[in-house]
Structure 1
């Protein structure tokens, strides 16, 4: 038997913080690829610490629903899961290349495949692009349009910026959008000045966050000038300094995130059958897209008030 654990942050303050986790888990659960699919959180129940001990499966795939390698993925989750043989060096990563490490949870006699975070997987690049398609309602969006991939950025974890820059460069290499830039909240170049970095009249802004919350639904819209008060909402697109800003909201709320979770598990050796194809097909049907690979979509996540924790 094999089980999947989706490990997310959650929030004590905002009950919506866990919504994307449960939604993606349901999508994976519906494929029947795993005998058990469980959600686990740092700030909510069920907690990281006991989740593996509640499973019947003897093989467990743990996928962190986090954007970057850092404190939570390298220290908190392995510690709380009691993966005693774990050490960050086992990932042998440069900050964006963590894949998986196989460990034994000896107290319960289970094999645990601890995967890298979803945010650094190559499939996340497709989700960012899909997010741009969702908010513009244009499956061919790109020509004449600029794309800003926005991250938190922090001096405490240089990998936070690496993930944003990694996907920005991958999208830029596709030569689909006229301009592609990485912007940040807490370091240069800052998202506050988004219009200064683009010549394109239309700019799609996609925050590389797992859930909509304080940063994506309050800070960023106000900082970009979409609204003076997030509680009043904002237009999509919004006119700012002679540009149209298409603000997409957190990338992690996109339905295709379930595909990234499955890709992580597959890289670690999970037997998925046709689960990947099923998830992609279901997302195409749900959004009425034209049948191209990796098409998906959920709520654009813009024009609302505060949402879940980032």
Structure 2
């Protein structure tokens, strides 16, 4: 089944939640997609706030080559401190990533207590392929594979109250998507700092604005705070319209980017950048999740128009 001689494993590490039972759903969904593509001998999910926990996961693997991909948006406390410590990657130092906040790629380390080689990858949120997932999220929420003309796009993040790199990740993708010229306007907006998502309509001239939160999973930020802050609804429990009209602007609110199926591709791209033998799987996953490889462009979105 595998062309490569050494068994390779993928570990997807995510935050999880004690409070929100849906927090881990995207992690399991993307792991299943990757499992089905057959690139790895083993695929495991591990969490900080749920079982199976970070601490045990490497000990459950038989493979010698292990690729660890953090399902996190930005480089920061979790990716630089918590995960390497819990996985017992003793030679780890954030300098190994040689990053200014958005360009971590990978570091090859030894998990000393089990003698396995671990390729510790940068978070999914700063990979270039995330820009494609944000655009695909806009396609999904509008039902239009060509969405862009006459539309603004807001990429929303938490903001720097927590970590300076969190804003960098948001701005990075907003800049990349703006450069493509696909949308009339692209803005990075935040929950906790200026420019604030509360004032979303102030930052756009377009009549239609797609709002995509750069979060891994849907939780209270994306399902309660942001819809209420933007004025889509007075009470998140009653839901909101898509699109909802606020101050004369149609707001297409997409929910967390991490629930988009194409996220599985970003996880694989991270592993590929670290040397994993996954090219065939990447092609298969892109085809299955409607990714941006050219041969599937014309075949997509034939339904639902």
Give, in whole Å, the separation in 2 of the partners of 1:114 and 1:56.
17
Among 288, 291, 297, which residue is 1:292 paired with? 297
The answer to whether residue 216 in structure 2 is matched with residue 210 in structure 1 is yes
Q: CA deviation at 1:155?
A: 2.8
Among 90, 101, 109, which residue is 1:103 paired with? 109
Which position in structure 2 is the counterpart of 1:188? 194
TM-score (normalised: structure 2)? 0.94
| Partners of 1:283 and 1:295 within 8 A in 2 | no
The 1:239–1:290 alpha-carbon spacing in structure 2 relative to 1, beyond 3 Å, is farther
Among 138, 141, 155, which residue is 1:149 paired with? 155
- 1:35-61, Cα deviation, whole Å (9 max, x unpaired): 000000000000000100110001100
The 1:119–1:55 alpha-carbon spacing in structure 2 relative to 1, beyond 3 Å, is same
TM-score (normalised: structure 1)? 0.92
Which position in structure 2 is the counterpart of 1:249? 255
Which position in structure 1 is the counterpart of 2:267? 261
Give, in whole Å, the separation in 1 of the partners of 2:107 and 2:120.
5
Among 179, 197, 205, which residue is 2:203 paired with? 197
Give, in whole Å, the separation in 1 of the partners of 2:279 and 2:175.
32
Give, in whole Å, the separation in 1 of the partners of 2:162 and 2:216.
19
Runs of 4+ in 1 over 4 A off after TM superposition: 293-296
Which position in structure 2 is the counterpart of 1:72? 78
| Partners of 1:125 and 1:167 within 8 A in 2 | yes
| Partners of 2:272 and 2:279 within 8 A in 1 | no
The answer to whether residue 262 in structure 2 is matched with residue 231 in structure 1 is no
**Runs of 5+ consecutive residues of structure 2 not aligned to the other structure:** 1-6
Aligned length: 293
Which position in structure 2 is the counterpart of 1:131? 137
1:162-181 alignment, distance < 5 Å: 162-181=168-187
Q: 1:102 is paired with a residue of what secondary structure?
A: strand
| Partners of 1:256 and 1:294 within 8 A in 2 | no
Q: CA deviation at 1:273?
A: 4.1
Which position in structure 1 is the counterpart of 2:62? 56
CA-atom RMSD in angstroms: 1.6
| Partners of 1:280 and 1:293 within 8 A in 2 | no
